[in-house]
A = this chain, B = another copy of it.
Amino acid sequence: MGASDTRRQIVEAADRLFYERGFEATSFADIAEAVGLSRGNFYYHFKAKDEILAAVIERRAAKTHAMLREWEGASESARERIRAFVHILIANKTMIMAHGCPVGTLCSELARLEHVAKNDASGILSLFRDWLARQFAALGRQAEADALALHILMRSQGVAALAAAFRDEEFIRREVEAMEAWLENQCAAASSLKSRPRL
């Protein structure tokens, strides 16, 4: 097997395990076992655990970037694009109820460890934030675009957190519906100049 292929397999396995169990709780042995590799051979591909983490974060950032670009192409309107974001909660509901939001939980864990990579992790959150802000700006809400982006991002993080704590699928559906209703309100406000709705 080629080295780059093995490396890719390691990063994929680490990505999954870091999500399911967390970064700290995942050992080299866990990843090695998942890939079918000996522990010793590991260090041919990665000199330290932090290097695997960096590769995982980079992979997640790239996948996020690709997903956001795909939504750009698939949807005509900014409204539909924001709806696509909100609907990740439904599409990934099983995983979210089991392990939370992959981005949010990693940010939270790295922040607590004061890990050097914590800013890289919250950078993924910023990818969503900036993309959402561009969508709200496209809706004609330039002035409040970032605040609206943070608001919807906050709600998706809150829903993921409680869905994981209570394992409640009905709660996810209800809150996604509420987020859609909120979005419709914001879109309506963009058309009429008076009475901009609050967050």
Asked if A44 is at the interface of the complex by the 8 Å CB criterion, the answer is no
Cα A125 to Cα B157 in complex, Å, equals 16
Q: How many residues of A contact B (CB 8 A)?
A: 42
Whether the pair A122, B157 counts as a contact (CB closer than 8 A) is: no
Whether the pair B198, A178 counts as a contact (CB closer than 8 A) is: yes
Whether the pair B166, A104 counts as a contact (CB closer than 8 A) is: no
Q: A22-B113, A111-B100, A158-B158 are in contact. Are A151 and B178 (CB under 8 A)?
A: yes
Q: Which A residues lie at the B interface, using CB under 8 A? A: 20-22, 24-25, 99-100, 104-105, 107-109, 111-113, 122, 125, 147, 150-151, 153-159, 161-162, 164-166, 168, 171, 174-175, 177-178, 181-182, 198-199
Whether the pair A161, B164 counts as a contact (CB closer than 8 A) is: no
Among candidates B21, B153, B158, B166, residue contacting A155 with C-beta atoms closer than 8 Å: B158
Known pairs A107-B164, A155-B158, A158-B159 / 4 extra A-B pairs, C-beta < 8 Å: A24-B25, A147-B174, A154-B158, A158-B158
For the complex formed, measure the closest distance between the CB of A113 and the CB atoms of chain B, giving whole angstroms: 6
Q: A122-B165, A154-B175, A181-B198 are in contact. Are A105 and B99 (CB under 8 A)?
A: no
Whether the pair B165, A154 counts as a contact (CB closer than 8 A) is: no
Whether the pair B165, A111 counts as a contact (CB closer than 8 A) is: yes
Cα A142 to Cα B158 in complex, Å, equals 23
Number of copies: 2
Cα A159 to Cα B147 in complex, Å, equals 12
Contacts of A157 in B (CB 8 A): 157-158, 161-162
Cα A147 to Cα B172 in complex, Å, equals 11
For the complex formed, measure the closest distance between the CB of A173 and the CB atoms of chain B, giving whole angstroms: 11
Whether the pair B113, A164 counts as a contact (CB closer than 8 A) is: no
Whether the pair B122, A112 counts as a contact (CB closer than 8 A) is: no
Cα A109 to Cα B99 in complex, Å, equals 10
Contacts of A165 in B (CB 8 A): 104, 107-108, 111, 122, 125
